[in-house]
Amino acid sequence: MQNVLTPQLSVIVTAYNIEKYIAQCLDSVLAQSFTDFEIIVVDAGSTDGTAEICHTYSEKYPNITVVDFHPDGPAASRNEGMKYARGEYITFVDGDDVIDSEMYTTLMSQMTGENLDVIYCTCYRFFDDDLTNRSVRNIAESFCATAQEIQQKMLLPIVSNLSAGVEVSGSMCMTIYKKRIIEQNGLKVRNMSEIYSEDNFFNIEYLACSSRAKAVNLPLYFYRKHTGSVSNIVHDYTVPALKNFEKQVCAIGDRLGIPRHETEKRCRVRFVVQFSAVVKKKIDSLSLKDVKNYLNTTIKENNLDFSFTKSDLDCVEFQVKLFWILLKFRMYAFLYLLVKIYSRFIAR
């Protein structure tokens, strides 16, 4: 390893009750062909053996620092990790995921060689321990040399991409940032309860401060799906947080001179997609009677607006479009049946 006092890259690993996965994660980071890095593990008050495993690694490897942090969610853990980062560049890894051994060599060579402010890659997705049964998430490759290009090719598509089937990476774990830009602009990761999809919003704020950016369609990150994942948990704050996301994104767009109708349209599409995904998870755990009560209450308490145009739904997948139509006309029995069929067969 290089001098751990002045590493080029700080890798912030967040961990909470993942004793089954944390060693595999740390081993994958330590196995990097790129060597000029430090690892900052933020343990958010784990009650299993996660913290002990992390401290064992820090005793063995001088470039690993463990921060014992009071549990307050992934956003707070990432912010805490950034306080300890000594590298010129910062990246993140979730402690239940793993990374390709060439990830940081590949990304850092382009980051420094092309004087980028940020670079994105993509990932494989797999379930639990089966790395062989994986799917790749493809993203749109792009190189942006001006702030205006970044806004059109990256920032707005992260809000919501209006081209069906084309994705833009919004994950903080598949990204390398300049610490200077984060510090000079006072950027922090927001809590999910405040601003839904904290990864995406951090990237939107960061891109608003950037002038050179790149996305490469290389699956260098391995994203693990399992029943304990934060992304599998349904919360009641979804609608207020999505509305706040729209408010904050529109404010950023106004500051950058992006026409308001562009940001509003993308936020409407985002709402349809993300609200549908959350509600589908909730419905799958309820009886038909409880589904009716849940949806009636959710629609009423959040004053949901169903005045979406055809163009708002053109770019979303068919099942999302069908879901929203059934929801709009209160066809709850059909909606319930659709979700059950999808979760039992199609989503497998």
Over residues 144-156, the pLDDT tens digits come to 999 999 999 999 9
CATH of 9-231 given 3.40.50.150, 3.40.50.300, 3.40.640.10, 3.90.550.10: 3.90.550.10
Torsion, Cα 65 71 73 76, to 10 degrees, reads -50
* Token output for 16: 């909470």
CA 132 to chain centroid, in Å, comes to 23
Contact 65, 10 (CB under 8 A): no
Interval 299-325 mean pLDDT: 83
Name every residue whose Cβ is closer than 8 Å to that of residue 188 and which is 6 or more positions away in sequence. 79
Cα–Cα distance, 211 to 148 (Å, whole number): 8
Burial label, 41 (beta-carbon count in 10 A; 0-12, 13-18, 19+): buried
Query: How many CB atoms sit inside 10 A of residue 212's CB?
Result: 18
**% of the chain surpassing 70 pLDDT:** 95
pLDDT digits (tens, 9 = 90+) for 85-141: 999 999 999 999 999 999 999 999 999 999 999 999 999 999 887 777 889 999 999
Least Cα distance to 89 among 62, 61, 110, 117 occurs for 117
One-letter identity of residue 96? D
Name the burial class of residue 269, with classes exposed (0-12), middle (13-18) and buried (19+) by CB atoms within 10 angstroms of its CB. buried
pLDDT at 44: 94
pLDDT of residue 1: 41
Q: Is 147 helix (H, G, I), strand (E, B) or coil?
A: helix
Contact 173, 93 (CB under 8 A): yes
Separation of alpha carbons 80 and 197, rounded Å = 19
For helices 22-30 and 50-60, angle between their N-to-C axes, nearest 10 degrees: 20
Interatomic CA distance for residues 81 and 98, integer angstroms: 18
Rounded to an integer, what distance in angstroms lies between the CA atom of residue 168 and that of residue 68? 33
Q: What are the pLDDT digits (tens) for 71-97?
A: 778 899 999 999 999 999 999 999 999
The rounded distance, in Å, linking the Cα atoms of 87 and 68 is 20
Residue pair 20/115 in contact (Cβ under 8 Å)? The answer is no
Average of per-residue pLDDT values in the chain = 91
Q: How large is the average pLDDT for residues 258-285?
A: 90
Q: In one letter, which amino acid is 196? A: Y
Confidence (pLDDT) at 184? 98
pLDDT for residue 82: 98
Give mean pLDDT, residues 187-201.
94
The reported pLDDT for the residue numbered 90 is: 98
- Which has the closest alpha carbon to 66: 98, 26, 103? 26
pLDDT band at 233 (very low <50, low <70, confident <90, very high): low
CA 44 to chain centre: 18
Q: Is the pLDDT of residue 348 over 50?
A: no
For residue 158, pLDDT beyond 70? yes
**23-32, 98-107, 218-227: the lowest-pLDDT one:** 218-227
CA 10, 157, 207, 196 dihedral sign is: negative
What's this model's pTM, rounded to 2 decimal places? Answer: 0.92
**CB of 190 closer than 8 Å to CB of 198:** yes
Question: Where do the structural domains in the chain lie, given as residue ranges?
Answer: 9-231, 235-346
